[in-house]
Amino acid sequence: MTDPADLRPVTAEEWPAFSRAMLEVFGDEPIDDFTEKVPATAELDRSLSLWSADGRVAATAGLYSRQLTVPGAVVPCAGVTWVTVSPTHRRRGVLTAVMRRQLTELHEQEREPLAALWASEGSIYGRFGYAPATLRGNWRGSTRRLGFRPGVDVGTGTVAPADADTYLAGASGVAEALRRWVPGVLDRDERWWRRSLRDPAGRRNGASALRFLLHREADGEVTGHAAYRVRSRWTDDGEADGTVLVDDVRARSTAGYAALWRYLLDLDLVRSAEFGYGPVDDPLRHLLADPRALHTRPLDGLWLRLVDVGRALAARRYPAPIDMVLEVRDPFCPWNDGRWWLRGHPAGAFCAPSEGDPDLVVDVDALAAAYLGGTSLGTLQAAGRVTEVSPGAVTQAATAFSWPVTPWCNDQF
């Protein structure tokens, strides 16, 4: 078994070898502006690497320092990234050592109370206490059927194309104003915005370069933005059959949101629309004359892990009062394993270890699934992940952990 002490941070000089080894495991081609130069978002002091006896990189991992919107608050969150293990080192406990090292250091250094990741495979991270906390809608539809219902107001603003720099300046302000309202959304400074706009030709999969839109009110204020691609296609009969591939759509008003979508759905030579990372309950459905025209196939989005149960539960808000003892089962992080007294309400919360009898018994990954308000504790009880000890405790806790805004994240890392 691999000893977590064998892992160490990678240096800037080692970055090319480290990044190339990582991309090789992912099956990706090297990218010059990524593999030859340390990215601006990289935090090498929070990276981990394992080197074989012959000087090859056998495992990679890293953390990003992010801020995650949770119900009623914004909380520091460690973004887990770059996780790979070479086929030469499989089944030696390498991944377990990486996960243990990351979580132990976060706890011992009292860093972020939450950790999050995007899972390359759905069967890997549950055993380390992670669970899907957001869903992506993965929706599509025919533009001919995605007409708006009568009376939808698109306002008096205008939608117009923008270059990347103009888009960044306008979109960043809109996103910052909105991000505190939607659980699951991550902060983006300029480094992260630049990263989101990177558009290597080799990763377009036959689609156009990324294109940008801004919605402005009559006074010139930017109140909405969208990013998209177009994949052109023609049928054997010479008919246009293109697809608009939507990357992002956000607006500060319903009219601005509707106007952006109207532009996207009215593009010439486009017959279908796809929004893979859109919210699972996108408001667009409720703008349509035919809601059935929007087809969704939800997939897991951001996976979450409660690094420190007490700090994590105390950090969020609860729309209904809760006062109970939770017995948390967490064999991977023993400092969480035990009973926690949680008192919460809309204005704040308190959570501390307890010797009292439990009202609920819950697996730590189930608690992570419910943390952002997107998965009901009642559903998790039906799956055997929550045990009710005090009558009515599941109903009370499910109500308190819910949130009126469905969690969503499209910021991959």
Give yes or no for a contact between 363 and 385, defined as CB atoms under 8 angstroms apart: yes
Q: Is 413 a catalytic residue?
A: yes
pLDDT for residue 1: 76
Residue-wise pLDDT for 82-116, tens only, equals 999 999 999 999 999 999 999 999 999 999 999 99
pLDDT for residue 374: 96
pLDDT for residue 312: 98
Catalytic residue, from 18, 34, 125, 228: name it.
125
Catalytic residue, from 257, 263, 401, 413: name it.
413
pLDDT for residue 189: 96
Q: Compute, in degrees rounded to 10, the torsion defined by CA atoms 158, 160, 166, 169.
A: 40
105 annotated ligand-binding residue: no
Which amino acid is it at 29? E
Q: Is 167 a catalytic residue?
A: no
19 annotated ligand-binding residue: no
pLDDT for residue 200: 87
63 annotated ligand-binding residue: no
120 annotated ligand-binding residue: yes
* pTM of the entire predicted model: 0.96
**Structural domains in the chain plus CATH codes:** 4-112 (3.40.630.30), 139-299 (3.40.630.30), 309-401 (3.30.1050.10)
Residue ranges of the chain whose pLDDT lies below 70: none
Give yes or no for a contact between 251 and 215, defined as CB atoms under 8 angstroms apart: yes
Please give the helix or strand (H or E) that residue 341 lies within, else none.
strand 338-345
Q: Is 140 helix (H, G, I), strand (E, B) or coil?
A: strand
Angle at 11 between CA 9 and CA 12, to 5 degrees: 140
Alpha-carbon distance 388 to 112, whole Å?
Answer: 30
121 annotated ligand-binding residue: yes
pLDDT for residue 203: 86
Q: Which long-range CB contacts under 8 A does 171-174 form with residues at least 24 apart?
A: 171/212, 171/214, 171/222, 171/225, 171/227, 171/250, 173/222, 174/222, 174/223, 174/224, 174/225, 174/250, 174/251, 174/252
Residue-wise pLDDT for 129-179, tens only, equals 999 999 999 999 999 999 999 999 999 999 999 999 999 999 999 999 999
- 187: DSSP letter: -
pLDDT for residue 29: 85
